Structure 1
Amino acid sequence: MPNIELQNRTPLRPPGSEGESDEHASSQPHARIIQHLQAADKGLAAYRVLFAAFAFEGVLWGFPLSFGVFQQYYTTLPGFAGSQFITYIGTIATGITYLGAPILAPIVKQYPQYQRLLILVGWSLCVMSLIAGSFANTIVGLVLTQGVLYGVGYLIVFYPVVSIVNEWWIARRGFAWGIMLGSSGISGVVYPFINEALLHKYGYQTALRAMALATVILTGPLLPFLKGRLPPSRNIILTRTNWSFLRKPIFWLYIMSTIAQSLGFYLPTLYLPAYASAAGLSTIIGATLLAVVNIASVLGQFTYGWLSDRNFSLNILLLSTSAVAAISSLTLWGLAQSLSFLILFAMIYGFFAYAYLAMRVRIGMAVAAEPNDSMTMFCIFSFSQGIGNVLAGPISGALLTANADVDAHEYGYFRYKGLIIFTGVSMVASAICISLSYLVPTRFRS
């Protein structure tokens, strides 16, 4: 996810300070108390924060990104099989993080003194959701716990962590973000195998409790490390957003492209394990495919982030991600009947589809009227991503219900035909929106 810029703070006056009277202080409203801050971008404290953020991102965000293994397992349980609501668990858990950006990001920005409290609350909700989910015996119960509650918990954790990282890493923020966000890709390689083994041997109740315990052990001791660099402040200097970008056609084309891309974006990682099972492959192969997608996603986001930093054409980069993701979905995935085709699809789709996410910083820069509008852009495009993520759940569930049978001689084993076509079409629609931007007169682009 792109950077969230911090606003300047006026430090609180230390209690009982005798340097000047209240009257003198009030006569100089712009007076500031000079405090010595620890150095940014270097030192033990900065790296300690980065390490903690790396662990939190990897452990907490890596779990829902590997939900496809849980989804495949749930479809095999007698009480859950056939329910179209299983998909809601994963799409809601991830979608809430994006949908909640316009709410949580401004709160963290306005009240930075509560960053650590918010992290503790969100972290506790994530752990509680896993424990509560282990006692759920219905799909609705799992949607509310493993889906909604976990998503809300991570939402409350993520934005304060982002704020703290941005305080400690300024000149080398790109480096810090690369380290932090890369952790979910790394954990996404490990999680599928761990979850598959736990589910196969012990069932989902024990698996969820084990995940809760692992979360406490791996991240709990790091909570004290997540401490802001800037002193608490009573006065936050807020900047007014220039909303003139709403009048730009290019802005709305990027919004439509983001929503279209997000509608199909998450579906392959949800259904690849189930598709592998339909192809007669073992459950460990399904976990392997998710691991391949996650490895490729790290490489894709790094590559496209590097290209965007070097001022390659934004529209060309966006077009290439959506177009290649669409082609690979409609051909490699739809026609796949062997492991080699599925691995090739996982590699290509993971690299190009996830690379789109790395472009959101550039998209915001392309349409923002002022540099200080970066946070507003972040919230708007994150919310757009969340719309697609959440809608993907009911849409994909309905598509699978409409084609309930499996036929090895049909495209997408018939059962997944509509799902695969929908994924490809959503990527095509995203690419079309980007292509239409070339029709926008130059004077309306900036």
Structure 2
Amino acid sequence: MSTLAAQPSSSTLDDKAPPPRPEADDKSQLETLESSLPDATYAPVDHGFAAWSNLLASCVIGLFVWGFPNSSGALLAAYFEDERYMSQPHATSRLPLIGTLSTGILYCSGIVIYPLIHYDLRLRRPFVWSGIVVSFVSLLGASFTTDVTLLIILQGVLFAIGASLAYCPLISYMSEWWVERIGLANGSIVAGDNSGAVLLPIIMPVLISHFGIQNTTRIYAVSLVICLVPAAYFIKPRLPERRAHTGGLCKPAYHPWMRDQRMWLFILINVLQGLAFFVPLTWLPTFTTALGLSEARAAAPLTLINGTSIVAALTAGWLSDRCNVWMLACVSIALSALATFTLWGLASFSFAGVLVYSVAYGVTAGGWSSMWYAFVRPISEGDTSVSTTLFSLLLFTRGVGNIASTPIATSLQQHKLAVAHTHGAPRLGFDVAGGQYTGMIIYAGACFAGAAAVSALGWILERRRGPERTAADDSQTTIRA
């Protein structure tokens, strides 16, 4: 499989850099392969209409794919108020599974889909189109049923499968079209995902109040098709996929990254960050309600987090192209830990304190996924099939953190650990609801602190690798195989 980008001249490589590994692609081989494709016009990487239209289309798909699971709270509230759903056995415990299954499958499905893409790049476009169809059919079917079991199957499982098919190939295409600014491209897609989390939870309640839950689901299904079909047209490979698949530059599925300590350190950071990241997203609305505020105000913290995460994703992606990513990760995660301990644990005894924490949390933690490609790029040595495999592993481990964090935080919430004032109005965030949230705040902050410590270790190890090895790794990012 070959995706060709601008090649570095030999003069740009350090004379002291170690020779490329035996399995690394040779520049002359790539040039030979490109010249063997007669009458082909190769669109440029990092700029041009094709690259930017592909990126914009990816953002639109990400908005709809992640927007629906992120607005599951509004749907859940509507289900809870409708007797047609609540009259069914165990509806209270079964309906929340819709959102949990959707996000869990979206995070974990890449571990299955990316190996298929690795096997044959020609599957990517059929995956995108079939994913749009499956997502539409699942939502349309869900809009015509009131059976809770069918809703779980259609909205929680089938929609997530279709969304995964539509979303996962975008990462592979991105690594073809973007090289020098791939961090910015990754951050843009993450910002598109976060845009859905900002817009749809605001729009969905309005639609539900005017048209009802079933008609709102139909409106979303039709809007998804209207927006994603044109977007999918611009999701295209840079090279003919038949040639890219049959070229002689394919690498085996096993790769030296499996023995690279940097990757395993990053996976550990990703798991720790995931174990903490979803706790404020899940519990800040109930925390705000515990302060005696209205449900309308309780939704404000999530809106602020998701809104500031858009800016954070773009900024972190841009910085990851220019800064040492281990340093960037260490600083951002350490600031997330500091904000959690101080702004949530100490200052969030009022609505203003919660809002300040929401902004700080979105800015410091919201750009984490935008840094992934900066970690993956030197380890994958520019091999797009390997980079997508590593990306799927990161999504999977983040999904593990998402799933595991909820029962951990729930169990901690059941043990009140008031640390200061326990009577009257709370004077610390730790005091809210008699210390009900103290354990989970400490847990989230500790996970962030642990991830920051591992990031610092990775930063130290990276500096010890020396400038020669770093230069050799960076040069590989311009060779796309």
TM-score (structure 1 length as normaliser): 0.78
Partner of 1:381: 394
CA contact (8 A) 1:40 1:169 kept: no
Structure 1: how far apart are the matches of 2:67 and 2:54?
19
Residue 256 of structure 1 deviates from its aligned partner by 1.7
Is the CA contact (8 Å cut-off) linking 2:317 and 2:370 kept in structure 1?
yes
Query: Could you tell which deviates more after superposition, 266-275 or 84-93?
Result: 84-93
Does the C-alpha gap of structure 1 residues 66 and 412 become closer, same or farther in structure 2, counting only changes over 3 Å?
farther
CA contact (8 A) 1:264 1:424 kept: yes
Kindly state the Cα deviation for residue 261 of structure 1 after the two structures are TM-superposed: 0.8
Q: Distance in 2 between matches of 1:433 and 1:378?
A: 19
- Long gaps (5+) in structure 2: 5-32, 417-423, 470-481
Q: Does 1:303 align with 2:312?
A: no
Given candidates 291, 309, 317, the residue that maps to 2:328 is 317
Separation in 1, partners of 2:414, 2:81: 15
Amino acid at match of 2:266: Y
2:445 maps to a residue whose letter is G
The aligned residue for residue 431 of structure 2 is 411
1:64 and 2:69 correspond = yes
1:222-251 deviation line (CA, Å, top 9, x unaligned)? 443434343241615422366444445444
**Which of 2, 14, 19 is equivalent to 1:7?**
2
2:399 maps to amino acid: G
Cα-to-partner distance string for 1:161-198 (whole Å, 9 max, x where unaligned): 33445555556655544544432333333212112323
Q: Secondary structure at the match of 2:39?
A: coil
Residues in 2 aligned to 1:359 and 1:337: alpha-carbon distance in whole angstroms: 33
Shift of 1:347: 0.7
Alignment deviations for residues 23-44 of structure 1 (CA, whole Å, 9 cap, x no partner): xxxxxx9993413235335665
CA distance in 2, matches of 1:203, 1:283: 20
Instruction: Tell me how far apart the structure 2 counterparts of residues 408 and 71 of structure 1 sit (CA, whole Å).
Output: 31
Distance change >3 Å, CA 259–CA 82, structure 1 → 2: farther
2:366 aligned counterpart, secondary structure: helix
1:204/1:216 CA distance change after superposition, 3 Å: same
Distance 1:97 1:387, change over 3 A: same
CA distance in 2, matches of 1:88, 1:294: 22
Q: Secondary structure at the match of 2:205?
A: helix
Q: What letter is aligned with 1:96?
A: I
Q: CA deviation at 1:51?
A: 3.6
Counterpart amino acid of 2:246? N
Q: Whole-Å Cα distance in 2 between the matches of residues 136 and 243 of structure 1?
A: 47
Which residue is equivalent to 1:24?
A: none
**How far apart in 2 are the matches of 1:400 and 1:33?**
62
Equivalent residue number for residue 121 of structure 1: 130
**Paired residue secondary structure (2:362):** helix
SS at match of 2:40: coil
Indicate how the Cα distance of structure 1 residues 137 and 427 shifts in structure 2: closer, same or farther if over 3 A, else same.
Answer: farther
Separation (CA, whole Å) in 1 of partners of 2:69 and 2:436? 24
Residue range with higher mean Cα deviation, 130-139 or 183-192: 130-139
Output the CA distance in 2 between the equivalents of 1:111 and 1:90.
Answer: 31
Shift of 1:75: 6.3
User: Percent of counterpart pairs with the same letter?
Assistant: 28
Partner residue in 1 for 2:304? 292
2:356 equivalent to 1:356: no
Q: Which amino acid aligns with 1:113?
A: R
Cα deviation digits, residues 246-300 of structure 1 (max 9, x gap):
4454443322221111012123223333333333333333443322112211222
Counterpart code for 1:261: Q
Q: How does 1:67-146 map to 2 (within 5 A)?
A: 67-70=72-75, 79=86, 83=92, 88-134=97-143, 142-146=151-155
TM value normalised by structure 2? 0.73
**2:20 corresponds to which residue?**
none
Q: 1:417 to 1:140 in 2, by over 3 A?
A: farther
Which residue of structure 1 aligns with residue 477 of structure 2? none
> Corresponding residue for 1:228?
237
- From 326, 339, 358, give the equivalent of 1:346: 358
Counterpart for residue 38 of structure 2: 34
Change (3 A) 1:380 1:282: same
User: After the TM superposition, which of the residue ranges 102-111 and 194-203 deviates more from structure 2?
Assistant: 194-203
